[in-house]
Amino acid sequence: MQIIYNSALGKKQELIPARSGQVSIYLCGPTVQSDPHIGHIRSAVAFDIIVRWLEFCGNKIIYIRNITDINDKIFQVAQQKKSSWWEISSKYSNAFRDAYKALGCLDPSYEPLASAHINQMIDLIDKILQAGKAYIAKDGIYFDTVAYKDYGILTNQTNDKGLADEEDFSEYKKNPRDFALWKFSAEASQKAFPAFSSPWGEGRPGWHLECSAMAKTYLGETFDIHGGGLDLRFPHHENEQAQSKSVGWGFAKSWLHTAWVTQKGAKMSKSLGNGLLVKDILQKTSPLVLRFALGSPHYRSQIEWEEKSIENSQNALSAITGFVSNYNFSKNNINKSCKVSVDEEFCEAMNDDFNVPLALSVIYKQIKNFSNLENKTYQNKLGQIIFTELNILGFNPLEFANSKNNQSSADKKTHKILDILITEYLNKRSEAKKDKNFAKADAIRQKLVSAGIFIEDKSNGEQIWKI
């Protein structure tokens, strides 16, 4: 029995899919206005693990992760840079796709672009107007939060009349809580601010509309899980739900929200200047280590990012990389059935709202037992179980190296494998230095140098290797 924490109810409940044997998931993807930072990418990593697990348990998964390629934030960047909106959104869509791939996130079933669903959005506005839940004002069409009685129900704020969507400020709105479904074009430059045709005049959709339209297109009127970062709960998710339910669609049966990545307690974001870019971190560390740092805490726990975060992940991964480098296994032997091929405790942990930290503790215990087992048959079987579990979490260094190899040149492939191995040595060297065991640290360095690997020590303690 799969238990999930439905954040709309604030409690755990059983996941009962709308269609038996199939789980439909909509995850709000990125607004592509800048390079991805680790706060952006966390929910994709968390959902990658959720999807892998649900699929492993025999469900057919339809997983949608959209790309918001039309949004006022993107248009403003285009205007500032004297560029076109499509140039900005293409550039950063690619950056996000690269980051997802680098961190081992499997492709979603579909990755729809908002700009390709203008017709569906116009149809939805028409339906909302016909239902009497929207009105046409001088500068756009607004959702009428007074006419829709359940507004605020998702975030438990039905009585809060002061709620307002700050990004949708307009003097023509009837109520501060009302939000734009369509914004009439007022800007001169269509290069930066697109103007799409609609029955009500040229303009562009409000942000929230796209997810309602795309979820309906790919998952139907009712689907199982809607996900996103915690910051999207209000107003974005509240507004999505209001739009969809106002026309009689069932919309999401459960909501899963991933917690923030913070630095010194503040949410990571570009505007705060503390957004650590994925590409910068990957210059210094391997994608597996970053994936582990973002994916190993429970998805509902806040990750406080600090200088030691990468080092902590490296240390926590060392038992896993050690096990993998010492073990030879055949992928063909892995049994796909949940009950047979993974440990019962691992299964229980994942079934209980995807408790990755607990599932990992099972793996560490198994790795310890593995080296103590004398019976080779038992040992081989346990080895396969551990590999299967690592694959479910996406923490298998081999799978990681392989998936990178598929998209890279032969040189990059070799580099990746070397990086995993050399990083092991460098971590041991750091530990030896910390313990003031300089003879050991020096011996490790000598070993690498004699193999033709040059080590550069940076002033911040970082070690860069080159051949």
Residues that bind Zn ion (CB under 5 A): 28, 211
To Zn ion, the closest distance from the beta carbon of 236 in angstroms equals 6
CB of 25 to Zn ion, least distance (A): 13
Minimum CB distance to Zn ion, residue 257 (Å)? 12
28 or 38: CB nearest Zn ion:
28
In sequence order, what are the residues at sequence separation of 6 or more whose Cβ sits closer than 8 angstroms to the Cβ of residue 114?
Answer: 66, 67, 68, 69, 70, 71, 205, 210, 214
Select 26 or 370, whichever has its Cβ closest to Zn ion.
26
Please give the Cα distance from 76 to 390 (Å, whole number).
Answer: 42
Closer CB to Zn ion, 244 or 263, in the complex = 244
Structure tokens at 223: 């689907």
CA distance 298 to 42: 11
Closer CB to Zn ion, 48 or 210, in the complex: 210
Pairing mode, strands 179-184 and 203-205: antiparallel
C-alpha span between 229 and 206 (Å, rounded): 19
Q: How far is the CB of 228 from Zn ion (least distance, A)?
A: 6
Strand partners, 456: 464
Nearer to Zn ion among residue 252 and residue 290 (C-beta): 252
* 252 vs 268, beta carbon nearer Zn ion: 252
Nearest to 243 by CA among 165, 318, 314, 172: 165
Of 267 and 416, CB closest to Zn ion: 267
CB 58, min distance to Zn ion, A: 28
Minimum distance, C-beta of residue 27 to Zn ion, in the bound complex (Å): 8
How far is CA 365 from each of CA 49, 358, 427, rounded to the nearest angstrom?
20, 11, 22
397 preceded by a cis bond (ω within 30 of 0)? no
The torsion defined by the Cα of 120, 121, 122 and 126, in degrees rounded to 10, comes to 100
CB of 30 to Zn ion, least distance (A): 10
